[in-house]
Amino acid sequence: MNINLGGIDKNLRLVVGISVIIWGVLMGNIWGVVGVVFIITGLLKRCPLYSLLGVKTCKVEERK
Per-residue pLDDT tens digits for 21-63: 999 999 999 988 999 999 999 999 999 999 899 999 988 766 5
Non-local (6+) Cβ contacts of 34 within 8 A are 20, 24
d(CA 51, CA 39): 17
Report pTM. 0.84
Q: What is the pLDDT of residue 44?
A: 94
